[in-house]
Structure 1
């Protein structure tokens, strides 16, 4: 059975490298990323590693408890990594 991971801070250096590692181990990887009002999520590191299309980005904010609960309910991750 495939494990599912949720990574907060996936667009940062550590989050991107963790995503790459987990994908190599066969995980389904979701990343929580906060969009700013002026730009989309910066996926430069994910593109550079060649994994942008393999990761599912979820729009969210750690200060939004109801949004986090909804994300957890929808994704049902086996593991959560908080790198934000």
Structure 2
């Protein structure tokens, strides 16, 4: 899922940007370890942006500000109970 891909890309030296949506159940526990440790060589390479994958204007805004060379879409609920 997205947290594993983000970790892999960070280990390869990529700067990784993710889109998170504002929700009543805000949860970044699956990626917290990727940007929380200021002593990590990955610190500062993981950036999160507020947005909604179903809203094209929010996607355009993030893409225009980041200007990515690659885009991966892993926006799915892989842990649905």
Q: Same fold (TM over 0.5)?
A: yes
Following TM superposition, the consecutive aligned residue runs of length 4 or more in structure 1 with deviations greater than 4 angstroms are: none
Higher-helix-fraction structure: 1
Which stretches in structure 1 are left out of the alignment for 5+ residues? 1-13
* Structure whose alpha-carbon radius of gyration is higher: 2
Higher relative contact order (CA 8 A, sep 6+): 1
Q: How many residues align?
A: 67
TM-score, length of structure 2 as denominator length:
0.74
Higher-strand-fraction structure: 1
Q: CA RMSD in A?
A: 1.3
TM-score, length of structure 1 as denominator length:
0.72
Q: CA deviation at 1:52?
A: 2.6
